[in-house]
Amino acid sequence: MVKPFIEKLPSSSAMRIGIAAAVPHLIFMTDETRVANPFAVCEQLPAGSIIICRDYDHPDRIGLAQNLRRITRELQQFLLIAGDAALVRIVAADGLHLPEHMLGSPPNLAAFGLVSAACHNRRSLKRAENLNVDFALVSPVFKTNSHPGAPFLGVHRFARLIKGVKVPVAALGGIHSTNAAKLKPFNIIGVAAIEAFASR
C-alpha cells in the first residue's frame, strides 16, 4: 500500500509511478549524462525517498555527493553512495550501494546504516541475501534508454527471478507511469528510475 505522504504531494512523474506500482519507496539513481540537475529531481520526491549517487566518472564526485547530502538532509531523504565506502564516510551518507561486481568481496557492511545491492540474476540475488543487505535493486525489468537493444527481464522473468527470495526487492529499468502498474502484484518495496523521475 502506498504511504499517504505520496498522495499528499503535488503530482509528478515520480509520484504517478510510485502510486501505480503501489510501493512505499521511490529510488532515484543519479546519472549526469541523462539528468543534468539531480537536485531538482530530489525536490520532486517525498521524504523517505532514497537517492543513490552513482556518477562514477563525475569530475567532482565528492562535491556532487556533498551537495546531495545537504539537499537530502533538508528533504528528509536517504542518500546512498554507489561503490565507494570511503565516500560514504566523507559525506556522512546514510549508506552504501553495492554494484553487482562488489557482491563477491564487499567491505565490512556492519559499518553502514543502509545497504543496497544491484542484482541481475539469481546468483547475485543469493549473494545479496547472504550479505543481509537491506534491499536488492533488480534490473533491467523493462526496455531501457540507458542500454538500447540490450535484453531485459520482462514481467514474467522478473516474477520468476524474485520468487522466494528473502531479501526485499526494488525494481529498476524502463519503469514509467504506463507500465508501473504491472509491478503491483509482486509486493516489491520500491521502484527506481533515472529519467522517468526527472519529468513532470
pLDDT above 80 for 27: yes
For the chain, the domain total comes to 1
pLDDT value at residue 13: 85
Per the CB < 8 A criterion, the answer to whether 48 and 18 are in contact is: no
Give the model's confidence band at 4: pLDDT under 50 very low, under 70 low, under 90 confident, else very high.
very low
Q: Which of 8-22, 110-124, 154-168 has the lowest mean pLDDT?
A: 8-22
pLDDT above 80 for 29: yes
Give the model's confidence band at 151: pLDDT under 50 very low, under 70 low, under 90 confident, else very high.
confident
Please give the angle made by the CA atoms of 80, 38 and 18, to the nearest 5 degrees. 75
What pLDDT, in 10s, does the model give residues 36-95? 999 999 999 999 999 999 999 999 999 999 999 999 999 999 999 999 999 999 999 999
d(CA 84, CA 96): 7
Q: What residue numbers bound the domain in which 51 lies?
A: 4-197
Give the CATH number, domain containing residue 126.
3.20.20.70
> pTM for this structure?
0.92
What pLDDT, in 10s, does the model give residues 100-148? 999 999 999 999 999 999 999 999 999 999 999 999 999 999 987 766 6
The C-alpha cell of 165 is what? Answer: 527470495
* Top-confidence residue, 12 or 92: 92
Alpha-carbon dihedral 43, 197, 190, 57, rounded to 10 degrees? -90
pLDDT value at residue 148: 65
pLDDT above 90 for 200: no
d(CA 172, CA 43): 20
- Tell me the mean pLDDT in the region 169-192: 95
* Top-confidence residue, 135 or 14: 135
